[in-house]
């Protein structure tokens, strides 16, 4: 039951993240990448502080603070900043070439940080699925930018570590507590930087840019992580992480509806192959449940009396 709940939570998180690249692409048309990054962190951090206060969440242990700080550096600051700069030079479709590498990045860090030991069959399915996604996204017609590619590669490495580290912490803290505390730790610096880097005027900012900022602040930075970290804790970091193989295709579908990019029949065929690889990876992923993970889907927990 925990495994099923973990995969369902992970799928919802992945679905929310699928809109992140398109939303970031919309936002950087009118917002500077640095301001966009710190603004989304400050907004999400304020909401996270409110959630922690209302829910009466216990403070993390002292030894957890450094780990939470690493999560904040990777997923609150590093990944959003690098992708925002990259999406000034490459399309959201091209960025999905690198998002396809996230499952492998997450699995590698799961081995290093999460004490997980996936078997050989798992790695074969993971590599095959990643190869299918990269092969599709690298078809002729997608323009490349060396600088944009390097930025996306760095973003994927940081994000993989942040996902794995957050998944480990979520086993004992809970998924929503991990991202909320990470956001709160980063919020003071994000708030100050948002004030310092704000544009001189907002009159020229279009509605689509505001919508992109709202999405990455609320969904990409907070709600998506609540589901995602819970999924990693319950279903296994390396195993549930393979759901990210589906993210590029959902992302392309969102980009097609927002930016009128064509969706070909080959995309549907490759998606079928990727789903088969995700199913195979799930079957052969060997999990090592460390600490008991929170099983209740309810967000609000009672205050201790």
- Do the beta carbons of residue 198 and residue 34 sit within 8 Å? no
Whether residue 113 is predicted with pLDDT greater than 60 in this model: the reply is yes
Domain count for the chain:
1
Q: Give a yes or no: residue 202 inside a domain.
A: no
pLDDT digits (tens, 9 = 90+) for 128-153: 888 887 777 666 655 567 788 889 98
Three-state secondary structure call for residue 221 = helix
9, part of any domain: yes
Q: Which band of pLDDT confidence, cut at 50, 70 and 90, is reported for residue 298?
A: very low
Residue 245, in any domain of the structure: yes
If pLDDT is split at 50, 70 and 90, which confidence band does 212 have? very high
Q: What's the pLDDT tens digit per position in 13-72?
A: 999 999 999 999 999 999 999 999 999 999 999 999 999 999 988 889 888 999 999 999
Q: How many beta carbons lie within 10 A of that of residue 302, not counting itself? A: 7
Q: Are 41 and 187 in contact (CB under 8 A)?
A: yes
Q: Residue 169 falls within a domain, yes or no?
A: yes
- Amino acid 15: pLDDT: 93
Q: Which of 87, 106, 40 lies closest to 255, judged by CA?
A: 87
- Stretch 88-104: mean pLDDT: 80
Residue 257 within a domain:
yes
Structural domain including 70 reads 2-197+207-284
Asked whether residue 293 is domain-assigned, the answer is: no
Tell me, yes or no, whether 297 lies in a domain.
no
Residue 302 within a domain: no
pLDDT tens figures, 252-284: 788 777 766 555 677 668 778 887 887 777 677
């Amino acid at each position: 039951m925990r495994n099923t709940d973990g995969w369902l939570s992970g799928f919802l998180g992945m679905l929310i993240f699928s809109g992140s690249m398109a939303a970031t692409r919309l936002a950087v048309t009118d917002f500077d990448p640095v301001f966009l990054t710190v603004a989304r962190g400050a907004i999400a951090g304020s909401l996270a502080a409110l959630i922690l206060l209302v829910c009466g969440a216990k403070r993390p242990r002292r030894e957890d603070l450094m780990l939470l700080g690493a999560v904040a550096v990777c997923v609150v600051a590093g990944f959003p900043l690098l992708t925002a700069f990259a999406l000034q030079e490459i399309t959201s479709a091209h960025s999905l070439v690198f998002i396809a590498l996230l499952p492998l990045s997450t699995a590698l860090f799961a081995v290093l940080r999460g004490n997980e030991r996936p078997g050989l069959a798992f790695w074969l399915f993971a590599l095959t699925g990643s190869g299918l996604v990269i092969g599709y996204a690298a078809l002729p017609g997608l323009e490349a930018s060396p600088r944009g590619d390097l930025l996306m590669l760095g973003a994927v490495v940081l994000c993989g570590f942040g996902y794995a580290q957050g998944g480990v912490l979520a086993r004992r803290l809970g998924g929503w507590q991990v991202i909320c505390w990470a956001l709160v730790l980063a919020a003071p610096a994000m708030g100050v930087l948002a004030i310092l880097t704000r544009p001189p005027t907002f009159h020229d900012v279009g509605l689509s840019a505001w919508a992109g900022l709202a999405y990455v602040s609320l969904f990409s930075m907070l709600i998506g992580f609540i589901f995602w970290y819970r999924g990693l804790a319950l279903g296994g970091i390396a195993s549930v992480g393979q759901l990210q193989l589906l993210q590029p295709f959902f992302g392309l579908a969102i980009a097609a509806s927002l930016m009128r990019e064509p969706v070909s029949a080959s995309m549907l065929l490759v998606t079928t192959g990727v789903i088969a690889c995700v199913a195979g990876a799930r079957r052969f992923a060997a999990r090592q449940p460390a600490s008991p993970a929170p099983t209740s889907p309810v967000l609000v927990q009672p205050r201790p009396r």
